[in-house]
Structure 1
Amino acid sequence: MDLQLAGRVAIVTGASKGIGLAVTTTLIEEGAHVVAASRTRTPELPDKAVHVPVDLMDPQAPAEVVARAVEEFGRLDILVNNAGGPPPGVTLPHAGFMNSDDATWQAMFEFNLFSVIRMIRSAVPVMLEGGGGSIVNVSSVSARQPAVVNMDYGAAKSALTYVSKAVDEEYGPQGIRVNTVSPGPVLTPWWTDEGGAADVFAGMVGSDRDSVITQVAPEMMKLTTGRLVAPQEVADAIALLVSPRSGSTAGADLVIDGGCLKEL
């Protein structure tokens, strides 16, 4: 399928690894120009990506990224707000409402909600000037499924899903579609890095990291597929959503979770 992305200009945040890296690579393979925003440039990031080293916790960073896209390519057609998860200094998973103070909650919302709001605010005028565009925000199944684990993260993602639908309602008639994808557990460095989620869960349940990834987590989260989601599976969905081939998909939330969510 030709996704009709050749020559389009995209920004991808959190582009250096995991889902963001898969999205960046996929869009470049489809012929798009990609401005990749992340704190550092990893060796895996394609040479064709224009890297902007930014910390999205900095309120000025989103405008800097959008300005670079305009400087390099003269327009902006696609925005993928992928950056999210634990902000610097915070380890996930963590459990218990009383175990997170104000600073933890504020940092979680700053990274997972306010940085996205600022990216959208910076991108919308440029997209309107170019006749429209497509925005995909990476939310989470945690936005739909309250739990005692990662409560602050889930709350921030719930707010992100709401904002996404509301922004689509305002700007969809002007040619800017806004959708979300809600992944379940995805096999990214968030899980696999030393001290990451697999190690934390292993300590919680008295197991080892490999068993957590291959058996404990899929069973605990009741994944129908029996395995964690591959980053490329999320990237493929995002590439389709930002494509003109999804021109009538607006204000939607696409769940890619291995069957984690069971409700209607």
Structure 2
Amino acid sequence: MDLRLTGRVAVVTGASKGIGLAVTRTLLDEGARVAAVSRKAGAELDALAGPDLLHVPSDLMDPDAPAAAVERAVEAFGRLDVLVNNAGGPPPGASLPRFGFLTPSDDDWRDMFEFNLFAVVRAVRAAIPHLLRSDAASVVNVSSGNGRRPGPMNFDYNAAKAALNNLTKGLSEEYAPQGVRVNSVSPGPVRTPWWTDEGGAADIIAGATGSDRDAVLDGGAAEMMALTTGRLATPQEVADMVVLLASPRSASTTGADVAVDSGFLKEI
């Protein structure tokens, strides 16, 4: 199916690995031009190099960085049609999961909201004037099933993603009538570097449960989280939904939150 993205210009944050890398690759495959925003490029993003890809080095913890990244994309490609706010999860230097409400400090809370909410606010604020000039504009925010399913861990992360879901709905109400659709995708656990890197979620859960990282990744996490499919999702499975929502093929979808979560959310 042609997603009608040929020649469109997209900004993707957190684009060097995991879901963001998969989104970037898929948009390029669909003929879009992509400004890939990340602190470093990395070998996998470098492998996609070509005239339709621009890497924008950026630390989104810097309040000026989201707007600078958007402007760099418009400067390079002349327009903006799609904004994918994918960067999120543990802020630089932090590791998740964190167990218990008393564990994160005030600084942890501030950093979590800075990375997962305020950076999105700033990117959207910078992108809106350009998106309003597009004939098929779309914003896709990558949220999390944890934004809709509270639990006794990751309190700061869960609250930031719940706020992102609320922001997404509000933006859709204001801007969909002006031609800018805004949706979110809520993954469950995804087999990304957040899970697989040394010291990442798999190691933390293994340490907390007396297991080992391979057992966690190969079924332990899925069992603990009651994932219906019995496995963590892949980055590409999430990216496919993100790109579909970004596409003009989804012209009547706005204000939606789509779960790509292996059956993590049980609520109706």
- TM class, shorter-chain normalised? over 0.9
1:163 paired to 2:163: no
Secondary structure of the equivalent of 2:55? strand
8 A Cα contact 1:23 1:239, kept in partner = yes
Task: Give 1:1-150 correspondences, 5 Å limit.
Answer: 1-45=1-45, 46-48=48-50, 49-131=53-135, 133-150=137-154
2: CA distance between counterparts of 1:263 and 1:101? 30
CA drift of 1:101 comes to 1.1
**Across the two proteins, how many residue pairs are aligned to each other?**
264
Q: CA deviation at 1:130?
A: 3.1
Deviation digits for residues 167-196 of structure 1, max 9, x if unmatched?
110000000000000000000000000000
Q: Which runs of 5+ in 1 are unaligned?
A: none
Q: Does structure 2 retain, via aligned residues, the 8 Å contact 1:133–1:177?
A: yes
Distance apart, 1:9 and its partner CA: 0.1
Task: Indicate conservation of the 8 Å contact 2:10/2:34, yes or no.
Answer: yes
Deviation, structure 1 residue 131: 4.1
CA offsets 1:140-183 (integer angstroms, 9 cap, x no match): 00000001111110000000000011011000000000000000
> What TM-score, normalized to structure 1?
0.99
- Which residue of 2 is the match for residue 205 of structure 1? 209
The alignment yields a C-alpha RMSD, in angstroms, of 0.7
Task: Answer yes or no: is the 8 Å Cα contact 1:109–1:156 preserved in 2.
Answer: yes
TM-score, normalised to structure 2, is: 0.97
**Which of 220, 225, 229 lines up with 1:221 in the alignment?**
225
The amino acid across from 1:24 in the alignment is T
Distance 1:44 1:73 in 2: 22
Amino acid aligned to 1:221: M
2:195 aligns with 191
Q: 2:58 and 2:216 mapped to 1: Cα distance?
A: 33
CA contact (8 A) 1:10 1:79 kept: yes
1:183 maps to a residue whose letter is: P
- Give the AA of the match of 2:14: G
How far apart are residue 132 of structure 1 and its match?
A: 5.0
Kindly report structure 1 stretches of 4+ aligned residues shifted beyond 3 Å.
Answer: none
